[in-house]
A and B are shown apart, each in its own frame.
Chain A
Amino acid sequence: GNSVTQMEGPVTLSEEAFLTINCTYTATGYPSLFWYVQYPGEGLQLLLKATKADDKGSNKGFEATYRKETTSFHLEKGSVQVSDSAVYFCALSGNYGQNFVFGPGTRLSVLP
């Protein structure tokens, strides 16, 4: 079945550091890929998505590129801020929006 693996946390960075959170997936067909974020005390919300190979999703300075050849969707940001402290979840869905699968989440703490 479909599955998502992402790097274990917690990840602790200083403000303005470069961020990478690795995500790899296993899926049949042509999944769509997502990054969701959960800020402290808030609900899950979509950060960015990509629906086909080589697509790049971007939002709030975060980017991720759908790499079919390496089955990866790594999240990057060039300069993190304290306000980016949150838990980040990589996720995928099947061909027709079915079978949503989330990774275990990576907690990011950004220190001033």
Chain B
Amino acid sequence: EAGVAQSPRYKIIEKRQSVAFWCNPISGHATLYWYQQILGQGPKLLIQFQNNGVVDDSQLPKDRFSAERLKGVDSTLKIQPAKLEDSAVYLCASSLEREITEQYFGPGTRLTVT
């Protein structure tokens, strides 16, 4: 079975520019997560989708970050405009059910903001 796909794998942008990340979850996984992992820290949940609805976006900086999951499959995470402190690895994960289950993580996108 194919894993969680993410692209691009690396991205370098200047501050105040915009950037978008794409995630394709494992087929049939209803729940999709976006995490931000700053170097040396654990992943921080940004947003959780159940199908195409948002379950939790309490830690998403909504003034600059946005995410969507059209048709309950693929998802995009956008940052506009980027700040230096947004430099991190952005991880996408998916799971079969919303309730207490194993998350499968993608390889992540490493973002560097200069």
Contacts and interface: CB of A to CB of B under 8 A. Distances in A.
For chain B, give the interface size range.
20 to 34
A31 to B, nearest CB: 9
A96 B105 contact: no
A99 interface: yes
A44 B105 contact: yes
B42 A46 contact: no
B106 A43 contact: yes
Nearest to B99: A97
A45 interface: yes
A46 B56 CA distance: 21
A102 B56 contact: no
Contact of A105 (B41, B100, B101, B106): B41
Contacts, number: 56
A30 to B, nearest CB: 10
**Residue in A97, A102, A104 with the greatest tally of chain B CB atoms within 10 Å:** A97
Interface in A63-112: 89, 91, 93, 96-105
Contact of A102 (B31, B44, B102): B44
A51 interface: yes
A32 interface: yes
Given A43-B108, A44-B105, A97 B98 contact: yes
A100 B48 CA distance: 9
A52 B79 CA distance: 38
A104 B40 CA distance: 7
Contact of B105 (A4, A43, A103, A104): A43
Given A43-B105, A43-B106, A45-B105, A100 B33 contact: yes
Interface of B: 3, 31, 33, 35, 40-45, 48, 55-56, 91, 93, 95, 97-108
Interface of A: 4, 32, 43-46, 49, 51, 89, 91, 93, 96-105
Given A98-B55, A98-B56, A103-B42, 7 more contacts: A89-B42, A93-B100, A97-B31, A100-B103, A102-B44, A104-B41, A105-B42
